[in-house]
């Protein structure tokens, strides 16, 4: 993978500078990507738990998800 780059535009002078990420920016990028992956996994786990809970309730009522949607809608 090539090094990510930053584009800096100076609105006053109109000049644009493109440079590679420095060491601290690369470390921050890696940390941000790891956190985003962790957050996505946690969100997927929470959504699965909610779907399972909803299905448990529907099972107790003896309804399918489609039948429930029909009743609501």
In this prediction, residue 1 carries a pLDDT of 60
Q: Compute the distance between CA of residue 44 and CA of residue 68 in angstroms, rounded to an integer.
A: 23
Please identify every stretch of the chain with a pLDDT value under 70, giving residue numbers as ranges.
1
Count other C-beta atoms under 10 Å from residue 25's C-beta. 14
Q: Give Cα 55 distance to the centre of its chain.
A: 25
pTM of the model: 0.67
């Amino acid at each position: 993978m090539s090094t990510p780059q930053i584009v800096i535009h100076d609105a006053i002078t109109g000049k644009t500078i493109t440079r590679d990420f420095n060491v601290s920016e690369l470390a921050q990028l890696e940390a941000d990507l790891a956190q985003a992956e962790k957050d996505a996994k946690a969100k997927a786990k929470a959504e699965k738990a909610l779907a399972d809970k909803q299905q448990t309730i529907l099972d107790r009522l003896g309804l399918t998800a489609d039948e429930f949607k029909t009743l609501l809608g």
